[in-house]
Amino acid sequence: MTHNRTTKWQREQARLDTAKDDPNVCPPAIPGQLTLVRPRRHLTLHHAQRIHHRPVRGYNEAVLVIAAHASQHGLSDSWEVAVSRMVRLALAIRDADGDEFAGTDAVSDLPLFPAVVLEILDHATLLQPGATLGPHRKRQRSAALPQAVPPRPRNCASCLSWDSSRHASPAESGVGDTTPAPALLGAAPAASATGCR
């Protein structure tokens, strides 16, 4: 007899797999609303997956252009899928900004294929006139990536002091000196080993 118990993370993953239109990712602006400040976005492939089933205006026209471009240049089906996800994300950014056509911000914020998406949207007449690739915005580092550990302060090897102004040079302090250590624990250190001021 087998038990079909699912864990909490399995239920959460199943819920995320069925909901492919996350309203928290690039929510569409209210029609007629004026955008005063354009937000700086850090979009990833995960954001494109979270809006996979969102209906966006103009997407069907862009898919036809993507298919024609792929067949003309002999590109694979996986390329078509990847570019179509980026086009959907660019059009979702356009809707979030409240624009009629996709602009420089919508294309420059994409994690992959911004130049190809610019060309696809231009051929599908979904691009603002004069829109180009903007300068790449500085990408934020992920908190999940390991960061370099900064060097720790070190103390003096002979006196264990943390005050760097009191240290002598290694030659003066006797660090690296090969003279044998005192045989008894309570014996005083040799004069050459105390070089700190």
Query: What would the mean pLDDT of 162-174 be, rounded to a whole number?
Result: 58
Mean residue pLDDT of the chain comes to: 76
Give the phi and the psi of residue 24 in degrees, each rounded to 5. -85, -15
3-state secondary structure of 161: coil
**Which tokens hold the place of 118?**
């610019």
Q: Do 104 and 133 form a contact (C-beta atoms < 8 A)?
A: yes
> So what's the pLDDT on residue 40?
73
Return the pLDDT at 192: 46
Cα-Cα end-to-end distance for the chain: 78
Q: Is the entire prediction scored with pTM above 0.75?
A: no
Read off the pLDDT of residues 7-33 as tens digits, 9 standing for 90 and up. Answer: 887 777 666 555 577 787 888 887 777
Which residues, in sequence order, are CB contacts of 187 under 8 Å at separation 6+? none
Write out the two tokens for 104. 């420089």
Cα separation, 133 vs 154, in Å, equals: 48
Task: Assess whether pLDDT exceeds 60 at residue 137.
Answer: no
pLDDT by residue (tens digit) across 48-59?
Answer: 888 888 889 999
Backbone angles phi, psi at 127, to 5 degrees: -110, 140
pLDDT single digits (tens) 41-50: 788 888 888 8
Please state, for a pLDDT cut of 70, what percent of the chain lies above it.
68
Q: What is the pLDDT of residue 17?
A: 58
Output the furthest CA–CA distance in the chain (Å, rounded): 88
